C-alpha cells in the first residue's frame, strides 16, 4: 500500500483526464472514447485511493466521471452494453457510497435499469455486446451483475436480484465445466432460449481455458454467493478457484490461456492474476475459518509475485502499475491494461482494510 501511495499521485499527474486502456513499451496509456467498457477502472482507482487515504485530490479527479459516462445513454454513437456494471460500479456506485451524492445514485440505477433491460427471459441470460449478437452471453458478465444486486439493495426491489440470480444460474449450468474451467462465449437461440454452443472468444479455442475468463468466473460466483448466501454459487466459486490455483505456473501468474497446445506462446496475463487475487480474497471471507487460509494464501502468493516481478515502482513517468498483461491471443499482447491495475489496487486495498467494495 505504501508503494501505491507513492505511485498513484504520479499516475494521476501523468494520466490526467485521459480514459486509459492499455500502455505499450513506452509506459504511456492511450486515450480512448469514454463509452468503451474499461472507462470506469481509472476513476475507480481514484475513488479507492480517496477512500483509503482521505486525500481530496483523488475525489476531485474522480468526481465527474459518472456524469461523463451517463451521456452515452443518449448519444447515438454510444457502445454501452453488458459492461455497464464495470463502468458504473466503479464510478457512480462507489461515489454514492462514499459521498451520498443523489445524482450518483440516480446514474447507478439508470445503469442497472439498462443492464436489466438486456435480460432474455427465454434463455435466462443477459445478452452480451450489441449488433446482431442477440443470443450471446459471456463469462465476464458474472462481475457486471453485482450492479443488479446493489440496485436491489438500495431500492428494495427484488426484480434486479432475480435477473442477476437467473443469469448466474445459466452461466453456472452452461459456462462452467466439471473441472472448474470456464467457457468465454455461450450461444443461445434468442427466440426459444435453447443452448447452442460455445465460442473461444478471447481464449485460444472453444474448449480451451482463457485465464482471465476463469478469474471473472471465480470472482463473480464468489460475489453472487455473498449477495445470495446460496451454497450452489459458493461451491461453483470454489471449483473454479481450485482449478485456477492448480493451473498456475511457478510464479503464480497465469499464461493467457491455461490450455495452449504448445509452449511457444509464453504470454502471461497479469490482469487475470490480479482479478483472481481479489476474487480469492472474497472467497476467503465467505468460507468457514478452517478453509480461509487456502484462498487467502493463494491470493497473497499471487499479489506478492505481481508486486515483486510484474510491477513498475521506480519509474515515475511510467503510467501503469503492472506489466505483462494480455488482452487475447491476437490483441494487446504483453502490455499494461488498466483493469489489471484496478484489480491489483483493489486487492491490496482489501488486505489493508478497505471495506467499501463495489463488486
User: What residues are annotated to the active site?
Assistant: 83, 140
- Count Cβ neighbours within 10 Å for each residue of 162-201 and write b for 16 or more, e otherwise: ebbbbbbbbbbebbbeeebbbbbbbbbebeeeebeebbbb
Amino acid at each position: 500500500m505504501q508503494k501505491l501511495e507513492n505511485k498513484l499521485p504520479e499516475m494521476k499527474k501523468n494520466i490526467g483526464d485521459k480514459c486509459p486502456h492499455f500502455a505499450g513499451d513506452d509506459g504511456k496509456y492511450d486515450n480512448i472514447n469514454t463509452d468503451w467498457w474499461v472507462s470506469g477502472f481509472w476513476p475507480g482507482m481514484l475513488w479507492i485511493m480517496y477512500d483509503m487515504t482521505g486525500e481530496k485530490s483523488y475525489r476531485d479527479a474522480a468526481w465527474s466521471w459518472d456524469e461523463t459516462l451517463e451521456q452515452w445513454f443518449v448519444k447515438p454513437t454510444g457502445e454501452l452494453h453488458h459492461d455497464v456494471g464495470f463502468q458504473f460500479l466503479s464510478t457512480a456506485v462507489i461515489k454514492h457510497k462514499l459521498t451520498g451524492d443523489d445524482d450518483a445514485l440516480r446514474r447507478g440505477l439508470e445503469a442497472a435499469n439498462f443492464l436489466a433491460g438486456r435480460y432474455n427471459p427465454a434463455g435466462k441470460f443477459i445478452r452480451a455486446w450489441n449488433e446482431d449478437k442477440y443470443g450471446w452471453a459471456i463469462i465476464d458478465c458474472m462481475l457486471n451483475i453485482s450492479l443488479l444486486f446493489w440496485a436491489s439493495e438500495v431500492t428494495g426491489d427484488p426484480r434486479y436480484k432475480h435477473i442477476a440470480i437467473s443469469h448466474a444460474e445459466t452461466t453456472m449450468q452452461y459456462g462452467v465445466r466439471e473441472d472448474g474451467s470456464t467457457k468465454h462465449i455461450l450461444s443461445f437461440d434468442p427466440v426459444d432460449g435453447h443452448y447452442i454452443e460455445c465460442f473461444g472468444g478471447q481464449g485460444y479455442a472453444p474448449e480451451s481455458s482463457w485465464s482471465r475468463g476463469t478469474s471473472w468466473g471465480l470472482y463473480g460466483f464468489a460475489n453472487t454467493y455473498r449477495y445470495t448466501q446460496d451454497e450452489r454459487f459458493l461451491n461453483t466459486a470454489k471449483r473454479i478457484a481450485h482449478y485456477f490455483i492448480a493451473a498456475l505456473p511457478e510464479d503464480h501468474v497465469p499464461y493467457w490461456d491455461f490450455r495452449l497446445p504448445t509452449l511457444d506462446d509464453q504470454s502471461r496475463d497479469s490482469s487475470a492474476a490480479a482479478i483472481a487475487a481479489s476474487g480469492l480474497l472474497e472467497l476467503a471471507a465467505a468460507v468457514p475459518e478452517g478453509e480461509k487460509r487456502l484462498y487467502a494464501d493463494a491470493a497473497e502468493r499471487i499479489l506478492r509475485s505481481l508486486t515483486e516481478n510484474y510491477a513498475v515502482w521506480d519509474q515515475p513517468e511510467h503510467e501503469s502499475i503492472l506489466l505483462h498483461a494480455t488482452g487475447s491471443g491476437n490483441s494487446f499482447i504483453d502490455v499494461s491494461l488498466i483493469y489489471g491495475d484496478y484489480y491489483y489496487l483493489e486487492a491490496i486495498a482489501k488486505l489493508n482494510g478497505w471495506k467499501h467494495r463495489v463488486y
